[in-house]
Amino acid sequence: MTDSTKSATLTIGDASYDLPIYSPTAGPDVLDIRKLYGQAGVFTYDPGFTSTASCDSTITYIDGGKGELLHRGYPIDQLAGKSHYLEVCYLLLYGELPSATELEKFESTITRHTMLHEQMVNFFRGFRRDAHPMAIMTGVAGAMSAFYHDSTDVSDPRQREIASHRLIAKMPTIAAWAYKYSIGQPFVYPRNDLDYASNFLHMCFAVPAEEYNVDPILSRAMDRIFTLHADHEQNASTSTVRLASSSGANPFACIAAGIACLWGPAHGGANQACLEMLKEIGTPDRIPEFIARAKDKNDPFRLMGFGHRVYKNFDPRATVMKQSADEVLDLLGVENNPILATAKELEQAALADPYFAEKKLFPNVDFYSGIILEAMGFPTSMFTPIFALSRTVGWVSQWKEMIADPQNKIGRPRQLYLGETERDYTDIEDR
């Protein structure tokens, strides 16, 4: 962090305090309150930390008002349109786009780390068959520290590197095996002759009884889903990973904490909620009824997959995802799937309605990714695990950045205490 050249004065009673102001390369200035408690004896109050910068970072920048998402300065639509997931992984991890030689080496390293320790097969079988795939992913990711002892020392840069590669490489296998286990099918092992997205689809949908060939359109759509969910700045799960890692916990435990946080329906479950809404609508002829309900302020119904908490204009990821959704639906068709037929007509109806344009309620990335995953044959229970798989590189990049930060210290949020003040214990017979 550079030295501050600006400051603000805070007056509390008769005392005044100068607080440094730092200017980022993009975004609003940041008021440094680190010494405020020591100097003035007061805390700040910010539920949800929505006005608080918990760290400085060089990885991802979001401007919700402009509909802008940058990874290391590169716009997400350019990365999703021209690049592919493992190249974006390299960019997030190392700060620059790789040369051809660097990319080839990185892809080779990830490809050859996709297998899981064979004993972990037994770990999967310890879960009930009806266990949610996210429950399995949380448990297995955390258990990796019991199998890979040579990459848990966070003070060793080489071990951090190995752990990063292992997490990115093995998460598709963990997610695919969680799916296979939940539907009672045998595990399908990773293949080194397939690219990252194709390998994941093969592990999910292949069976020993017959040959399974991954369609390149589906593979490309899957790769875009991974790319568009790779990182999203200091969101709830990323902040969870950073907070867990601030204690010096091993990387596998920290990523497991991120997966657990992502499981929440307010965070990672948005595309699942979107599909559940489409099932509630049922058929295209009921769309006008639900659009009318969405406009009614007295009706609690909301169109899921439209608008975004962060993006006040449009979701920059949605344009690329829509292209993939159109390609997938053209390939697989929607004639025999009323959910997908409803989704396409709902998209058209909402985009043509002035109410949604005025409110800036455009279809977002969750709307289109849910449609794609449904068309591919994934159950809604797998939507969030695929999100977790995609986001692993973002969590790992943020974790690596935090560990290397000389300002890193254990997280310790404060509170506004509103409970009882000190009082004496009352014996039970006197209560």
Q: Please identify every residue annotated as catalytic.
A: 308, 366
Per-residue CA distances from 371 to 169, 221, 237, 274, 323 (Å): 26, 11, 24, 9, 12
- Interior angle at CA 247, CA 47 and CA 124, nearest 5: 95
Comparing CA positions, the residue from 124, 112, 259, 256 lying closest to residue 187 is 124
Tell me the C-alpha distance between 412 and 98, whole Å: 37
Token code pair at residue 84:
């592919």
Question: What residues form DSSP beta bridges with 6?
Answer: 21
Residues 6+ apart with CB under 8 A from 58: 72, 95, 401
Tell me the C-alpha distance between 116 and 119, whole Å: 8
Tell me the C-alpha distance between 158 and 291, whole Å: 54
Residue recorded with tokens 């700045």: 233
- Interior angle at CA 393, CA 390 and CA 394, nearest 5: 95
Please, what sign has the CA dihedral across residues 6, 12, 13, 17? negative
Amino acid at 335: E
Comparing CA positions, the residue from 364, 388, 313 lying closest to residue 134 is 388
Q: What is the DSSP string of 203-260?
A: HHH-BTTB-----HHHHHHHHHHHHHTS--SS-HHHHHHHHHHTTT--HHHHHHHHHH
Token code pair at residue 141:
């990711």
CB atoms within 10 A of CB 14: 5
Tell me the C-alpha distance between 371 and 225, whole Å: 11
Comparing CA positions, the residue from 217, 271, 252 lying closest to residue 384 is 271
First to last CA, the chain: 57
